Amino acid sequence: MSLSIKKSGIIETELFTEFIANAFDTTTYVEPDGSAWIRIAHHNHPDTKRFAQTDSFTTQVYKEADVWFNVSLCNYLSGSWELMVKQAATAGGTEYKWRWIQSVNPMSTGQFEATKAANVTKITTSGYSNASSYGGCYALINSNTYLCCNNGTNGNWFGSFGCWTLYQGGMPGYSGTIVTTGYMDLYLRIDNAKANLNATSFGNGFIKSKEIIEI
């Protein structure tokens, strides 16, 4: 597929695509196995900083640098979602990581069964913990949080993202941990997203095409 750039600056091509990017955190994170990720939710110091029930979670929420939610970026993918939680219960505490692949969009509601531990593929190689009863993420949208991680009990909101209710001095994190002065982050893997190899691609500071024609 060719890309034509006219002298007027107009770009013509049959198909455009762009990479998934998060305006709140533009870093691409690389895990030891070479996989690339973007951070799509960040909640630091939930003991004093929280979301609000009226926040626009279906699109994006930016309260401040310590509290933001952009999980709607998952809507750009289909088929499967590889997710990762990074969490430390207290400031300066040990960071733990959990990683898995699920078959439903974490922004979808009513996905308790599909996100059970038995219905996701866990990555438990070196560096990743395994909380046996925990599975994937789905939109719970109860009176406490927008999204939660499945711990085998329907309606339980441990592993919460978009949390606006204080719980035991913090918020209920992944693997039954209460996060207080620490943080809980959600990541989406992007390097394994299906891409149209015949598309013209735009990234940060570059244009990629099989052929570029200036006319």
Domain ranges of the chain: 21-192
100: exposed, middle or buried (Cβ count in 10 Å: 0-12, 13-18, 19+):
buried
Q: Poorest-confidence range of 14-18, 39-43, 66-70? A: 14-18
| Residues in CB range of 167: below 8 A, 6 or more apart | 144, 178
What pTM value is reported for the model?
Answer: 0.83
Q: How far apart are the first and last CA of the chain?
A: 16
CA distance 158 to 150: 8
Name residue 202's beta-bridge partners. 18, 207
Q: Poorest-confidence range of 14-18, 45-49, 70-74? A: 14-18
Q: Poorest-confidence range of 109-123, 148-162, 197-211? A: 197-211
pLDDT at 195: 40
pLDDT at 16: 47
Pick the more confident residue, 144 or 19: 144
